[in-house]
A and B are shown apart, each in its own frame.
Chain A
Amino acid sequence: MNLKKLPLLNLKRNPGRTLALVLLTAVLSFSIFGGTVVVSSLRRGLGSLTERLGADIIVVPSQAQSKVSFQDIFLQGTVGAFYMSRENLTRTLEVEGVEKAAAQVFLASLKADCCSIRIQVIGIDPETDFVIRPWLEKSGSRGLKDMDVVVGTKVGAEVGETLRIYEERCHVAGKLAPTGTGLDSAVYCNMSTMKKLLSAAEAKGISHKVSSDDEDVVSAIYVKVKEGYDIGKVNSAIQGHTRKASAIRTRSMITDVSSSLLAISRVILGLIGAIWGMGFLLLFLAFAMIARERQQEFALLRVLGSTKKALKGLIRKEAFLCCLSGGFVGIGLACLLVFPFQTLIEMSLSLPYLIPEPSGLFLIALGALGASVASGFASSAFAAWRLSQADPGRLLRQG
């Protein structure tokens, strides 16, 4: 008999035992791969949020802190609107240390034609905007003309299609790359389009807090501080210089998100550790029991001329085959849950969530597979050593 084929034949001969080992390793790789992907996605989401904010300070109306929180709009995609006087933009620009400031107007409760969905429409001034424009350029859109909109990645409209908002046909000029934040569910347009949408809504008898004639309101002012100036001091100056508005340092917003992320990451990593520890212990016990059960089989192989090294190799190969297939099964199952349900996970966590790039995912999968195989090897090492040390003559005499 070819000894090279023996591990595979052994596994085939005992399908129940093989299935149990494969499932046990599948649990290990499932927890490692699934947990690591979730933690990495949260970290990438935070990175994306930091990059996307693009401003040092955000000025919002004081009511934005108590009503629909600005943070909720930004992180969770909650549809909301709040307004303050445009005069605050001029006042902000007057503050020493402010390099540039751009205003945005939020519009809530607009219903698209499909499924009565509420969409957050954000009006920007393409001339002065420095927050959204770089992302628009990255997405390949050639600016925002009248009745053009750029949609977030979670809005199910493709470039070139028409999005009907209040019976107004808006041309989708671009689709932004995913950010993992609530802004993925927003629609961006210029101020002129925003006015038309407001008029259309008013014509339908739906009143908004801001009317199309009212041009002196804004929802948020994004501020970039000049280099060399202390952001904290500029923030305080803006706070004192503007009316009925709060200046929020983006860093504090990110710190809030970061601490929530850290807490969730710790829980997930703790769970991975616990599952891995239990799985490893179970694998160790399983291999120890298998070794005890197969003592005579191995004694016979020793009598037939197999070396101790060959027997150790036989157990290791069996462990390798079980752990490799279990690793693939676990990763496959984790893929089936983590990727299709990513929106649901993001909504449940209420944190920025952005799945890593394919190359990153490949590395995580490789790591999970390696960890599963390594744990299989480690847990079978004791069994292999014990079997190779046993006296074959004594074992066969015992019957």
Chain B
Amino acid sequence: MKNKKTAVLMSMILILSLVAAFGLRSFMAPCIHEDGSFGSCHWAGEALFGLSLLMAGQAILGLFLARGRREFFLCIFCDAILGVCLPGLLIRLCTMATMRCQSIMKPGVWVLMILMGGFSLTGFFLPGSSQGKERKGKT
């Protein structure tokens, strides 16, 4: 039952990370300029896209490798913190708060990363997440 709960949390993380990855290529994509050039927000978008795919990968592994699920939750939590820090703090975005990267990409990523961070933290502290290890110890 507890293992089922962690699986549900991991599935939620998988869905959210895929939404983030898809969003960064569509409705949350950073500013596009008329002349085809791009600013630093473009690289923030690329880094976040990569991070989202990494989190999706970790969530898939966490779903199938029930034994190490707790460790995967911890990894995803660290990724989520990185995801919050990336736009604006680690990689500068555009000057104006009204621009797409500041008004859509950053808050959108923040919301998704906070939700994923919350789910991963819950999963980490759920007793069921370390069930695999306990089972291993007993055998």
A185 to B99, CA, bound (A): 11
Which of the segments A244-252, A302-310, A334-342 contacts the partner chain? A334-342
Q: Which residues of chain B are within 8 angstroms of A163 by Cβ–Cβ distance?
A: 95
Q: Tell whether, in the assembled complex, residue A116 and residue B33 are in contact, meaning their CB atoms are under 8 Å apart.
A: yes
Chain A residues, Cβ within 8 Å of B98:
77, 154, 185, 343, 347
CB neighbours (8 Å) of A184 from chain B are: 97
A337 to B115, CA, bound (A): 12
Within 8 Å CB of A337, what residues of B?
A: 111
Is A112 at the interface (CB under 8 A from chain B)?
yes
Total inter-chain residue pairs, C-beta < 8 Å: 68
Contact mask for chain B residues 81-120; partner A; CB cutoff 8 A; 1 contact, 0 none: 0000000000011111111011110111011001100000
CB under 8 Å from chain B, chain A span 97-118: 112, 114-117
A344: interface (CB < 8 Å): yes
A341 to B115, CA, bound (A): 15
Near A by CB (< 8 A), chain B positions 30-64 give 31, 33-35, 37, 39-41
Indicate the size class of the contact surface on chain B: 20 to 34
Known A-B contacts A336-B114, A337-B111, A340-B111; the reply to A119 vs B106 at CB < 8 A is no
- Residue in chain A with minimal CB distance to B1: A15
Assess whether A344 is in contact with B103, with CB atoms less than 8 Å apart: yes
CB contact under 8 A between A114 and B94, given known A156-B102, A336-B114: yes
Q: Which residues of B contact A155 (CB under 8 A)?
A: 95-97
A23 at the A/B interface (Cβ < 8 Å)? Answer: no
A11 to B24, CA, bound (A): 40
Contact in complex: A343, B103 (CB < 8 Å): yes
Which of chain A's residues have a CB closer than 8 A to the CB of B114? Answer: 336
Binary B-proximity of A317-352 (CB < 8 A = 1, otherwise 0): 000000000000000000011001101100100000
Nearest-neighbor residue (CB-CB) of A342 within chain B: B107
- Which of A115, A119, A343 is close to B31, meaning CB atoms less than 8 Å apart? A115
Say whether A115 contacts B94, CB under 8 Å.
yes
> Assuming A336-B114, A344-B103, is B94 touching A185 (CB within 8 A)?
no
* Interface contact B95-A343, CB-CB below 8 Å: no
Contact in complex: A116, B111 (CB < 8 Å): no
| Residues on B with beta carbons closer than 8 Å to the beta carbon of A157 | 95
Q: Which of A153, A156, A336 contacts B93 (CB 8 A)?
A: A156
Chain B residues lying within 8 Å of A156, measured Cβ to Cβ, are 92-97, 102
Please report the C-alpha to C-alpha distance between residue A382 and residue B42 in the assembled complex, in whole angstroms.
Answer: 57
Give CA–CA (A155, B94) in the complex, Å: 9
0/1 string, A114-144, CB within 8 A of B gives 1: 1111010000000000000000000000000
Q: Which residues of A contact B93 (CB under 8 A)?
A: 156
Selected contact of B39 from candidates A114, A119, A343, CB within 8 Å: A114
Given A115-B95, A119-B96, A185-B97; A344-B35 close (CB under 8 Å): no
Instruction: Give the distance to chain A from B4, nearest Cβ to Cβ, in Å.
Output: 11
Could you list which residues of chain A lie within 8 angstroms of chain B, going by C-beta atoms? Answer: 77, 112, 114-117, 119, 153-157, 163, 184-185, 336-337, 340-341, 343-344, 347
What 6 pairs between A and B have smallest CB-CB spacing? A340-B107, A154-B97, A115-B39, A115-B94, A343-B103, A156-B95
